[in-house]
């Protein structure tokens, strides 16, 4: 109080001198600014940090560290409660400063140490305590963060595992889509043709055993045995798969029906794995059905629906041989159809869901199959011709992988055919001989 009186009584020059002595910036003391400057001088004399605090803010506002350090230098004098606001602010800065400089590693210690250290600093300024507690909470928060950081790797480790878990399932879900790849399709196609040929050969053997007994593949008897054994007890897998087949085969069969009335029924019978096992048809008929089903069931894929269509065309091409058997398939069909449905409903509800999906798929598959069937129908003339020719004359080579497309006729055969056709049309041989003679004549004339 005495100081303040003294300051008020001082002249401007004296006041300025005292300010400089206090380490305050040399600011001209004017009548207008005197009040403010006296206030600051009083603050600096009485306690402390105010003078240091203000210059810091003017110099660079955002750096709080340096002024805090300066304040720390003043601190030993002790803070007075009378300088309330400013001192609190300064102590605040100090505490922040101190905590910032403390290494982050020793945080648990810091939390304990701060309250211990705090009282000497904050005793004068009681408001500093809550701030410190806040700081402590901050540190706690940081610890939590550390824990999170520790936990994160675990999460990261877990994440990869989940996709892995899913991955094995996904193929199952997407298996249908995967099946649509061209290679698969081609394989199916080839297999279908193979099966059809097997079937055909088997039929031929039944009808005329003397015709192609030697050309059967070695596996054939084994497979037939398997089929005969396995057919009575159908594999659930096999039964699930043929469902789409049944959906697709019907339209397909319808498309084929215009040409061959016998075909559709037979193809349907072939499409179902079920029928042969359940049908009480005569032995020969059952056999035919079994063999036809073997052609499709051996593959166990939904493309067998498509597969069955070629087989029908194939069989129908030689339908004259065993139209009776096909008819038998027709007769056996309706009963088995009912059987299968009853079985499915009885056995599992999951199958129904799958059946819906299958039905939905069957739209696509049906379209695809019908498209294919049309194309095949367009090409059917060469194909049937080929098969008929094979049946009549040279026979088949089951070893070679075939598709239904006529392009896959061996190159030599194509070339031969081309030569033959050209020869037929233009009489190349005679022309060639003629040209040779002309050339010889020309050479003779030229050299002599």
Partner 1 sequence: MSGTTQKHTNFVAEPMGNKPVTELAGIGETLGGRLTDAGFDKAYTVLGQFLVLKKDEELFKEWMKDVCHASSKQASDCYNCLNDWSEEFL
Give contact residues for partner 1 (rule: CB under 8 A): 25, 27-28, 30, 32-33, 35-37, 39-40, 53-55, 57-58
Nearest partner of 296 among 271, 332, 314, judged by Cα? 271
Helix or strand or coil: residue 274? helix
Nearest partner of 298 among 231, 244, 368, 252, judged by Cα? 231
Instruction: Supply the minimum distance, in Å, between the C-beta of residue 78 and partner 1.
Output: 23
Instruction: Supply the minimum distance, in Å, between the C-beta of residue 26 and partner 1.
Output: 9
Determine contact, residues 357/427, Cβ cutoff 8 Å: no
Q: Which is nearer to partner 1, 29 or 263 (CB)?
A: 29
Determine contact, residues 132/121, Cβ cutoff 8 Å: no
Determine contact, residues 96/63, Cβ cutoff 8 Å: no
Site of tokens 């000497």: 120
Q: Which is nearer to partner 1, 28 or 76 (CB)?
A: 28
Q: Which is nearer to partner 1, 64 or 261 (CB)?
A: 64
Q: Which is nearer to partner 1, 35 or 165 (CB)?
A: 35
Q: Which is nearer to partner 1, 27 or 216 (CB)?
A: 27
State CA 313 to chain mean position distance: 38
Instruction: Supply the minimum distance, in Å, between the C-beta of residue 51 and partner 1.
Output: 10
Q: Which is nearer to partner 1, 67 or 276 (CB)?
A: 67
Instruction: Supply the minimum distance, in Å, between the C-beta of residue 57 and partner 1.
Output: 6
Instruction: Supply the minimum distance, in Å, between the C-beta of residue 75 and partner 1.
Output: 20
Element (H, E) at 189: helix 182-207
Q: Which is nearer to partner 1, 58 or 210 (CB)?
A: 58
Helix axes 128-178, 107-122, angle to 10 degrees: 160
Instruction: Supply the minimum distance, in Å, between the C-beta of residue 21 and partner 1.
Output: 18
Q: Which is nearer to partner 1, 54 or 230 (CB)?
A: 54
CA distances from residue 171 to 156, 159, 174, 179, 407 in whole angstroms, order as listed = 24, 19, 5, 10, 34
Determine contact, residues 308/365, Cβ cutoff 8 Å: no
Instruction: Supply the minimum distance, in Å, between the C-beta of residue 17 and partner 1.
Output: 17
Give me the helices (H) in 348-395, please: 350-392
Instruction: Supply the minimum distance, in Å, between the C-beta of residue 357 and partner 1.
Output: 59
Alpha carbon distance 429, 417 (integer Å): 15
State CA 347 to chain mean position distance: 32
């Amino acid at each position: 109080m005495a100081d303040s009186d003294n300051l008020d009584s001082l002249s401007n020059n004296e006041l300025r001198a005292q300010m400089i002595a206090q380490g305050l910036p040399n600011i001209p003391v004017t009548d207008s600014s005197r009040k403010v400057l006296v206030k600051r001088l009083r603050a600096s004399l009485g306690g402390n940090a105010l003078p240091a605090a203000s210059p810091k803010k003017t110099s660079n506002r955002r750096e709080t560290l340096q002024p805090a350090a300066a304040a720390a230098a003043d601190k030993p004098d002790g803070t007075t409660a009378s300088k309330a606001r400013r001192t609190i602010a300064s102590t605040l800065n100090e505490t922040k400063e101190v905590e910032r400089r403390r290494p982050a590693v020793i945080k648990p210690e810091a939390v304990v140490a701060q309250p211990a250290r705090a009282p000497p600093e904050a005793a004068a300024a009681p408001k500093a305590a809550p701030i410190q507690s806040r700081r402590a909470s901050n540190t706690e928060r940081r610890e939590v963060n550390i824990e999170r950081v520790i936990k994160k790797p675990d999460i990261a480790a877990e994440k990869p595992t989940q996709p892995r878990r899913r991955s094995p399932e996904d193929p199952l879900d997407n298996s249908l889509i995967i099946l649509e790849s061209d290679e698969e399709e081609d394989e199916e196609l080839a297999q279908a043709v193979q099966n059809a040929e097997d079937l055909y050969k088997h039929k031929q053997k039944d009808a005329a055993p003397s015709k192609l007994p030697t050309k059967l593949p070695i596996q054939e008897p084994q497979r037939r045995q398997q089929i005969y054994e396995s057919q009575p007890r159908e594999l659930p897998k096999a039964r699930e798969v043929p469902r789409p087949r049944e959906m697709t085969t019907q339209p397909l069969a319808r498309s084929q029906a215009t040409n061959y009335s016998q075909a559709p029924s037979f193809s349907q019978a072939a499409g179902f794995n079920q029928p042969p096992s359940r049908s009480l048809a005569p032995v020969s008929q059952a056999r035919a059905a079994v063999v036809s089903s073997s052609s499709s069931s051996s593959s166990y894929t939904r493309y067998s629906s498509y597969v069955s269509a070629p087989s029908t065309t194939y069989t129908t091409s030689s339908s004259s041989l065993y139209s009776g058997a096909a008819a038998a398939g027709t007769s056996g069909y309706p009963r088995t159809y009912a059987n299968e449905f009853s079985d499915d409903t009885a056995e599992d509800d999951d199958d129904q869901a799958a059946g819906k999906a299958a039905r939905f798929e069957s739209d696509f598959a049906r379209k695809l199959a019908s498209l294919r069937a049309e194309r095949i129908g367009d090409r059917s003339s060469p194909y049937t011709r080929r098969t008929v020719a094979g049946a009549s004359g040279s026979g088949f080579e089951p070893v070679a992988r075939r598709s239904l497309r006529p392009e896959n006729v061996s190159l030599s055969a194509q070339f031969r055919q081309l030569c033959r056709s050209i020869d037929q049309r233009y009489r190349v041989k005679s022309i060639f001989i003629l040209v040779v003679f002309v050339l010889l004549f020309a050479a003779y004339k030229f050299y002599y």
